[in-house]
């Protein structure tokens, strides 16, 4: 399993880091087999697999459940789990309790949290306690209400400078990497150059140290209206739809099950059944 030290070395060696989300055991197993460097149990699971409109309703219990499943599926891959909405903005002992569940109970190798200056103290304390922490800046979906929608961030001064300062503050606080979401590629490049820790982009251009995408977006699994930064590498929805339609049709037409799918009873046992 790769470690935080490996990710730092990958940055130094200009060896791109491929990160992907996963929410359950089969997706994690397939991602591991595909050779992803690290997996993220993103709170995007609220939208992608639980059917919510945002990540706001996601709970620590949800994250624990899905992290356990991902760890069972991908035993050889470093797994980062998102701290969900409002689980790290009260007192530290509450945050530490949640982080303890996600790491000790669920098996996460690191946690990710959104935000800049307002979370650096928490990052510092978690790192001091031995927990690897990943930052997340730019478009931070847990703040969608404050940001006023899912929009590109840091397009102009002073927003861009603020993001650079926040990234540096997260590095100083001990974060082992940061995700930057939905920022101009030039800002992605500057942040990547200024930081010693890996910068993983999503909608941040080609110059970051790595990329992360949402599993369902990559495979085209019921992900409609995807943002500009997504590339769908396949379209699993249409395959699933075709398969399911054939199943339903076969049942309606009594074409399934066939003899080969069927168990049979010995003749003498059958006689007793009818006697
Ligand atoms: O929840 C998530 O999937 C994320 C990634 C998009 C970075 O935070
Ligand atoms: Na997230």
161-174 pLDDT, tens digit each: 999 999 999 999 99
Q: Residues 216, 263: one domain? A: no
In this prediction, residue 275 carries a pLDDT of 81
Give the Å distance between the CA of 142 and the centre of ligand 2: 8
In this prediction, residue 147 carries a pLDDT of 94
3-state secondary structure of 248: helix
Is 112 annotated to bind a ligand? Reply is yes
Instruction: Indicate which residues carry an active-site annotation.
Output: 181
In this prediction, residue 68 carries a pLDDT of 98
Q: Residues 54, 105: one domain? A: yes
The interface predicted TM-score of the complex, written ipTM, equals 0.99
**Alpha carbon nearest to ligand 1 atom 4, residue:** 42
In this prediction, residue 71 carries a pLDDT of 98
Minimum-distance ligand 1 atom for the alpha carbon of 43: 1
Is 43 annotated to bind a ligand? Reply is yes
Q: Residues 260, 207: one domain? A: no
pLDDT digits (tens, 9 = 90+) for 85-125: 999 999 999 999 999 999 999 999 999 999 999 999 999 99
Q: Residues 228, 122: one domain? A: yes
Q: What angle do CA 102, 107, 109 make, to 5 degrees?
A: 90
Answer yes or no: is pLDDT of 272 > 90. no
Minimum-distance ligand 1 atom for the alpha carbon of 55: 1
Contact of 63 with 81, CB cutoff 8 Å: yes
Q: Residues 9, 142: one domain? A: yes
Q: Residues 177, 259: one domain? A: no
Q: Residues 229, 169: one domain? A: yes
pLDDT digits (tens, 9 = 90+) for 197-253: 999 999 999 999 999 999 999 999 998 788 999 999 999 999 999 999 999 999 999
CATH of the domain at 53: 3.20.20.60
Please choose, from the candidates 79, 159, 69, the residue with its C-alpha nearest in 3D space to the C-alpha of residue 112.
79
Is 162 annotated to bind a ligand? Reply is no
Q: For all residues of the chain together, what is the average pLDDT?
A: 97
In this prediction, residue 149 carries a pLDDT of 92
Q: Residues 83, 201: one domain? A: yes
Give the Å distance between the CA of 234 and the centre of ligand 1: 20
Q: Residues 216, 245: one domain? A: no
Q: Residues 267, 180: one domain? A: no
E-state strands within the chain = 17-21, 38-41, 78-82, 110-114, 133-138, 177-181, 199-202, 210-213
Q: Residues 42, 109: one domain? A: yes
The pLDDT confidence band at residue 156, using thresholds 50, 70 and 90, is very high
Chosen domain end from 219, 234, 249: 234
Residues with CB under 6 A from ligand 1: 21, 40, 42-44, 82, 136, 179, 181, 202, 212, 214
Q: Residues 203, 262: one domain? A: no
The pLDDT confidence band at residue 274, using thresholds 50, 70 and 90, is confident
Range of the domain at 252: 239-274
Minimum-distance ligand 1 atom for the alpha carbon of 112: 8
Contact of 80 with 102, CB cutoff 8 Å: no
Q: How far apart are CA 78 and CA 73, in angstroms?
A: 12
Give the Å distance between the CA of 82 and the centre of ligand 2: 6
Answer yes or no: is pLDDT of 12 > 90. yes
**Residue 187 Cα distances to 117, 177, 223, angstroms:** 18, 16, 27
């Amino acid at each position: 399993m790769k470690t935080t030290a490996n990710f730092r070395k990958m940055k130094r060696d200009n060896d791109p880091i491929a990160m992907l989300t996963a929410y359950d055991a089969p997706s994690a197993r397939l991602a591991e087999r595909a050779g992803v460097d690290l997996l993220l149990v993103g709170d995007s699971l609220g939208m992608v697999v639980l059917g919510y409109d945002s990540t706001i309703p996601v709970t620590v219990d949800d994250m624990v459940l899905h992290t356990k499943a991902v760890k069972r599926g991908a035993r050889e891959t470093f797994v980062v789990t998102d701290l969900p909405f409002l689980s790290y903005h009260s007192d530290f002992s509450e945050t530490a309790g949640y982080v303890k569940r996600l790491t000790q109970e669920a098996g996460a190798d690191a946690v990710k949290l959104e935000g800049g200056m307002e979370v650096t103290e928490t990052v510092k304390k978690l790192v001091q306690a031995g927990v690897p922490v990943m930052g997340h800046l730019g478009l931070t979906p847990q703040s969608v209400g404050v940001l006023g929608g899912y929009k590109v961030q840091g397009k102009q001064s002073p927003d861009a400078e603020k993001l650079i300062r926040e990234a540096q503050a997260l590095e100083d606080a001990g974060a082992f990497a940061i995700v930057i979401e939905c920022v101009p590629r030039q800002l992605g490049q500057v942040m990547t150059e200024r930081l010693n820790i890996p910068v993983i982009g999503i909608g941040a251009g080609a110059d970051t140290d790595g990329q992360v995408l949402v599993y369902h977006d990559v495979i085209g699994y019921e992900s409609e209206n995807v943002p500009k930064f997504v590339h769908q590498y396949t379209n699993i929805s249409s395959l699933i739809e075709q398969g399911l339609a054939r199943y339903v049709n076969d049942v309606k037409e009594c074409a399934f099950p066939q003899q080969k799918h069927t168990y049979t009873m010995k003749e003498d046992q059958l006689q007793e059944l009818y006697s």
